[in-house]
Structure 1
Amino acid sequence: MLDEAEFDRDDAAPIDMLENYFAAHGWTHQREDEEIVAKVKGSWTEYELRAIWREDDGVLQFLAFPDVRVADDRRAAMYEAIGLVNEQLWIGHFELWSASGILLYRHAAMIDGSGEPTLTLDQAELLIESAIDECERFYPVFQFVLWGGKTPAEALASALIETQGEA
């Protein structure tokens, strides 16, 4: 968790705040106008995080790509797995882009439109960390379906086992 003292202020324009957050973590990132992309190393894979500010709608769209591509012959099983996984989520959802077979996690934040739109440090942290946490939590499900020969239900059950103690 970052300390608000590390920033000039505790709120900023949405993309500015995300850029500050990425920089404070030392994550590689690139910004173009109202969009920012960062690379983050997770425990399973590297994630591409992408945020797009839609000023007209007052929406900050946030995407996390866990570097998973799904071949045509595995898409039916993956769609089933995504449906089962999405039932477990409170915020955001996974989806599969049909044209490219890319798996992603997506959610959005409505930003107050009164005055200058800002994103707080707490909001930025929640947006980013929840996306990474969900990708980390469910990455094994998708791998079990794609490479482990498990059905979507088996994959979900295997991935959600809570371990006790240490080995």
Structure 2
Amino acid sequence: MAILDPHDPDQEDAAPIDMLESYYAAHGWDHERQDEEIVASVKGSWATYELRALWREEDSVLQFLAFPDIKVPEDRRAAIYEAIGLVNEQLWIGHFELWSSSGILLFRHAAMIDGDEDRILSLGGAELLVESAIEECERFYPVFQFVLWGGKSPREALAAALVETQGEA
């Protein structure tokens, strides 16, 4: 499999997993691909995120998951479910969820990719999938930490995390 050059104007789009593989390679991110699934590791400000994409050709859907390395203990799940509800009200694309069987928190969104036989993902589409997932994980990571370890209620955690700094230091 040849790696595409996402900066080459003649390679503006490709099969979904091929484009993501090229996008990750262009950024120098560690990644592994297996058929129609790709997993990458990206260091953010708060955590190292596992990014996982799965292409379902029969449905023309690219499912994109970002795992911010947060595992929720059983006794904190009710508070985290409330925090997830409050956080999801702030989102336009994607949502956070908690896997009940494992307690793993994740961000998920999907892209419908149609085009009959030419199911392709543009460079802009790949950027939107990846960067929006990372941005939302970075933006809301403190909310979940405040609830889990900071002793804050979900509303207090959201308010504290979304305070924007004004002015310059």
TM range (shorter): over 0.9
* Cα drift, residue 149 of structure 1: 0.1
Q: Could you say which residue in structure 1 is the equivalent of 2:119?
A: 117
Tell me what 1:139 maps to: 141
Matched with 1:82 is 84
1:8-35: CA deviations, max 9, x gaps?
6110000000000000000000000000
Q: Write out the 4+ residue segments of structure 1 that deviate beyond 2 Å after TM superposition.
A: 3-8
**Do structure 1's residue 162 and structure 2's residue 164 form an aligned pair?**
yes
Is contact 1:7–1:20 with CA below 8 Å preserved after alignment?
no
Matched, 1:153 2:137: no
Matched residue, 1:49: 51
Which of the residues 89, 94, 97 maps onto 1:95? 97
Name structure 1 gaps, 5 residues minimum: none
Residue 5 of structure 1 aligns to a residue in which SS? coil
TM superposition score normalised by structure 1? 0.96
Q: Is the 8 A contact 2:62 2:110 kept in 1?
A: yes
Query: Which blocks of at least 5 consecutive residues in structure 2 are unaligned?
Result: none
CA RMSD of aligned residues (A): 1.2
1: CA distance, partners of 2:135 / 2:156: 21
Aligned residues: 165
- Match in the other structure for 1:34: 36
Partners of 1:7 and 1:98 lie apart in 2 by 44
Select which of 54, 63, 66 maps to 1:64: 66
Q: Between the two proteins, what is the percent identity of the paired residues?
A: 77
Q: Cα–Cα, structure 1 residues 31 and 4, in superposed 2: closer, same or farther, change >3 Å?
A: closer
